[in-house]
Amino acid sequence: MASSGQMEASALAVMVNERAAVNVRLALVSDAQRWQLHHGLVTLDDDAPVKERSWRYSTACFLELRLPGREVAALLRGEGHVHGLHIVCPGPLPSTASTYRLSGRQEWGRVTTPWPRTEWTLSRDTSAPHPGHGLLVGDGPSFLNFDQALSAFLHQRPHDANAGREDMWRIVLPQRAAWFPQITISPDLLTAVVEGEALDGAILELSWAAGNQSQSVDGAGTYSFALPQGLAPDSLLMLRREDQWLDWRSFPAPTYGRARDASVVWEQPGPELDVLLANGEGQHLECKQEVPQGDSRKKMLKTVAAFASRDGGTVLIGVRDDLQIVGLPEGSNVDKQELQVVDMIRDNLEPAPPYETRVIDYDGKKVLAIEVSGGGQMYAYRNGQRPEFYVRVGPNTVPARHHEIAAGFRRAPTVTAL
C-alpha cells in the first residue's frame, strides 16, 4: 500500500456510515441559528473508550463523544444534527480526501500513536471565515482565543503557529496488525519487540547501504540482529508481509535538536556523541566546559534563544571549545546542575523555548545536553526589562536584524490582549 494517495469523499462517508459507532471530536463556531464545523477529528477504533466532554461558549463549541457512524457520515456529506445542535459544513465540500499511511510513533498533524495508522483529510474551503480572536469564557476552561482552545481540546498542548488546521476533517484508522512498541540499539545488537493482532507471515528486515538481514516472525516477542560493526548510518528496520509494510523505523545520524522517538532506546551514547562532535561547533552546536556562572550565563542563554528562533540546536556542557570531552566536574551533583540550567532558561528567556535536557554517559564522563527544537517564532533573552533577539550564524550567536525579528513575529501565534 502506498504511503499517500487520494480517496473519493463519498467512499469515505460510506466507510464511516458502515461503522456502528466512532469516536469524534468536533470544533464548532456559531453561525446565526446554526453551528458551523471548523474541524472534526474522527477515530475509527472500537477498542478506544471515549470520555465525553462539552465546552460551550457564545461563539464556539467543542464536543467529544461517541456517535453512530451514520450521524458522522451525514456531517461528512455536509449537514447533520449532533447533541441537539444543527451543524453545517462551510463552503463546497471537496470531492476527494487525501490519504496518508504512517508508521508507529510518527507525528503528523500533532497526532502520534504507538502503532501504524491510516489517516484521511478533507480540506477546508479557503473562503470560509476564520474563528474570531476574542476571549472564550463560558461552560468550559477559559482561553485567550479559539486557536488556543482548539489545540488544548484536540491535543492537550499549547497552540503552535506552525500547526494550523487547514483540514476540516481528519479521520484516523489505527492498524494494530503488527507494530514495534520498543527497539533497543546497543553497540553490537539491535533488539526489537514485536506485537500485533495478525503476525502470520510477517518478516522482520534490517537494511543498510551495504546489505540487509531478515528473519521470519513467528509471533509476538523479542527479535534481535547482530551488529558486529555497529548500526550503520541510515539503517531501516522494516516489519512487512510480502511487499506490504506493517511498521518501520529509520535510524539516520543524530540531528541537533530533533525530537526523539520514545520507542527507540539507544544504549550506545558514546558513538552518538562522536557524531554530534564530528563537524565541530557550528550552526547547530555549541560546547561549554561547565555550567556557566555569572556573566558567562548570558552567552549560553543567547545561544539557546537563537537555536529556538531558527532551526534548533544542541548545547553540550562538559565539552571544551577544542571538542575535548572533559565531562561535568567529578563528584558534582548532576541533577542539581541540570536544574540550574532549567532555572536559567525559565527565568531569562521569553516565551519558554521548546527544549529537553538529558545526561549522556561517555567513557565514564557525564555530558549535559540541552537539545533545543526550532520553535517557529522569535525567542527573547530578557536583559532587565529589555528583550534581546539573536540568531545563529555559523558558530556565532549574533543580534537579530530588524527584518529577522519581524519575520519571526509574523510566524508567531496571534495573542489577544487582556
Domains and CATH numbers, the chain: 4-174 (no CATH), 179-252 (2.60.40), 269-411 (3.30.950.30)
Q: Which residue has the higher pLDDT, 298 or 166?
A: 298
Inter-CA distances, 340 with 256, 265, 303, 316, 329, Å: 22, 26, 16, 15, 15
- State pLDDT tens for residues 293-323: 888 899 999 999 999 998 888 999 999 989 9
User: How big, in percent rounded to 5, are the helix, strand and coil portions of the chain?
Assistant: 20, 45, 40
Pairing of strands 4-8, 96-102: antiparallel
Q: CA-to-CA distance for 416 and 312, rounded, in angstroms?
A: 27
- State pLDDT tens for residues 342-384: 999 999 999 888 888 888 888 889 999 998 988 678 899 998 8
Q: CA-to-CA distance for 119 and 174, rounded, in angstroms?
A: 9
The average pLDDT across 77-102 equals 91
Neighbours of 10 (CB within 10 A): 15
Neighbours of 95 (CB within 10 A): 10
Note the pLDDT of residue 186. 83
| pTM, 2 dp | 0.70
Q: Which of 112, 128, 125, 94 is nearest to 9 (CA)?
A: 94
Note the pLDDT of residue 213. 96
Q: CA-to-CA distance for 92 and 11, rounded, in angstroms?
A: 17
Q: What is the DSSP letter of 325?
A: B
**What b/e string do you get for 291-305 counting C-beta neighbours within 10 Å, with b at 16 or more?**
bbeeeeeeebbbbbb
Q: CA-to-CA distance for 178 and 239, rounded, in angstroms?
A: 7
Mean pLDDT for all residues in the chain: 87
Q: CA-to-CA distance for 22 and 383, rounded, in angstroms?
A: 52
- Amino acid in the structure at residue 250: S
Tell whether the model's pLDDT for residue 162 goes beyond 50.
Answer: no
- Residue 255 pLDDT level (bands cut at 50, 70, 90): low
Tell whether the model's pLDDT for residue 22 goes beyond 90.
Answer: yes
Tell whether the model's pLDDT for residue 410 goes beyond 70.
Answer: no
- Which residues, in sequence order, are CB contacts of 207 under 8 Å at separation 6+? 235, 236, 238
> Which residue do the cell numbers 528567556 mark?
349
The cell numbers describing 105, all together, are 510513533
- Which residues, in sequence order, are CB contacts of 143 under 8 Å at separation 6+? 135, 136, 149, 152
Note the pLDDT of residue 414. 41
- Residue 270 pLDDT level (bands cut at 50, 70, 90): low
- State pLDDT tens for residues 195-205: 999 999 999 99
Note the pLDDT of residue 125. 77
Q: What is the secondary structure of 96-158 as a DSSP string?
A: EEEEEEE-TT--BTTB--SS-EEEEEEEPPTTSPPPP-S-EEEBEEEESSHHHHHHHHHHSS-
Tell whether the model's pLDDT for residue 163 goes beyond 60.
Answer: no
CB burial class (10 A; 0-12, 13-18, 19+) of residue 233?
Answer: exposed
The average pLDDT across 39-57 equals 90
Q: Which of 224, 338, 327 is nearest to 270 (CA)?
A: 327
The average pLDDT across 320-349 equals 91
The cell numbers describing 158, all together, are 499549547
Contact assessment for residue 67 and residue 39, using Cβ atoms and an 8 Å cutoff: no
- Residue 258 pLDDT level (bands cut at 50, 70, 90): low
Note the pLDDT of residue 265. 79
Q: Could you tell me how many residues make up the chain?
A: 418
Q: CA-to-CA distance for 332 and 338, rounded, in angstroms?
A: 11
Q: CA-to-CA distance for 67 and 70, rounded, in angstroms?
A: 8
CA atoms within 13 A of residue 350's CA, in its CB half-sphere = 9
Backbone angles phi, psi at 279, to 5 degrees: -100, 5
The average pLDDT across 218-235 equals 91
Tell whether the model's pLDDT for residue 165 goes beyond 70.
Answer: no
